[in-house]
Structure 1
């Protein structure tokens, strides 16, 4: 039992180091490949992108498309705000809060109307898009970078939807565990700011 706990705890600590790499602004050319990899390099982004797909699958119906698409559009808008030099105060805090909130929604299988779901997903995405683009350097290819992170985000949403639509009993347990894990990671991230 102690070994399982130690392995789990160590895994979490290792994963929590990834957001530092994702938002370092170091050693990147900031083109398509860097944008494509960015959501994969930070546990905060990775969890929310997968979680949006899982939650959309749980909501079903039009939400299967509208929730992920609203996320993508708002993410692009957040990146646009950063590119214009506008500031979202405490953007990293909003990112951490989105990890917590989405974790709770997935963990508790929370259903809500399509309109509220779309607004909530867009709210989560605005800060994620902002922090994706806030570190771009002056010579960065903004369109290529944004295309990269939007493509990865769409793929991660799709993976989340596919897992969410799966009818395997064990996956239901995994989905609940995923939501709980998001909530815990988000809380740890929030405390680290």
Structure 2
């Protein structure tokens, strides 16, 4: 039962992509907080960043999610400045596929490479948040989606660390589950892109 708990939690958290809230709600903390939670593409990418970091262990546990959040804030500011950034939605969907594959194949690369990979995707996630807002209430909205992102990363890190700990005691079998989660995220990204 303990082995199925993370899978059940992720399954219950998954909802249809519905990150777009009514225009009157923009600018509030609640709108910012719910934006990553109710958009399946955002939700999957952010949990998977944490999962990858947790599987990598060591400094990656905090450095990889921190890189994502920092660059996501920069992307948000870039959107608020009125700049344009091409292929935002395709890059967000690509993030679910690439990050899912990184977990599925247990990709281990230098920490700086991990930070760059998540940072590139974070720029587009942050930009998407900023383009949906406009200018009003940017600080409240931004604080909301940053907090939600941190919590989603923390969930992924916890699953990754738990998987590593259990795998160490059970001859590595638990990593089959985490690789399955990564594969599921990658497949979901492809379905979102082409479905």
* TM-score bracket, shorter-length normalisation: 0.7 to 0.9
| Aligned match of 2:121 | 124
Aligned residues: 176
Contact 2:36–2:149 at 8 Å: present in 1 too? yes
Of 137, 142, 148 in structure 2, the residue corresponding to residue 141 of structure 1 is 137
RMSD over aligned Cα atoms: 1.8
Q: 5+ unaligned residues in a row in structure 2: which ranges?
A: 1-10, 168-172
| Aligned match of 1:190 | 193
Query: Are residues 1:156 and 2:152 paired?
Result: yes
Contact 1:49–1:157 at 8 Å: present in 2 too? yes
Query: What per-residue deviation string (whole Å, max 9, x for no partner) do you get for residues 38-96 of structure 1?
Result: 11011111111110111011112111111000000000011011101111101000000
| Aligned match of 1:168 | 166
Of 60, 65, 77 in structure 2, the residue corresponding to residue 63 of structure 1 is 60
Query: What per-residue deviation string (whole Å, max 9, x for no partner) do you get for residues 112-142 of structure 1?
Result: 001101111111111011111111134x200
Counterpart-to-counterpart distance in 2, 1:81 and 1:25? 23
| Aligned match of 1:37 | 34
TM-score by length of 2: 0.84
| Aligned match of 2:78 | 81
Of 36, 43, 48 in structure 2, the residue corresponding to residue 51 of structure 1 is 48
Specify whether residues 25 and 132 from structure 1 end up closer, same or farther in structure 2 by C-alpha distance, changes over 3 A only.
farther
Specify whether residues 24 and 89 from structure 1 end up closer, same or farther in structure 2 by C-alpha distance, changes over 3 A only.
farther
Deviates more, 1:40-49 or 1:56-65: 56-65
Contact 1:77–1:129 at 8 Å: present in 2 too? yes
Counterpart-to-counterpart distance in 2, 1:91 and 1:24? 18
Contact 2:21–2:31 at 8 Å: present in 1 too? no
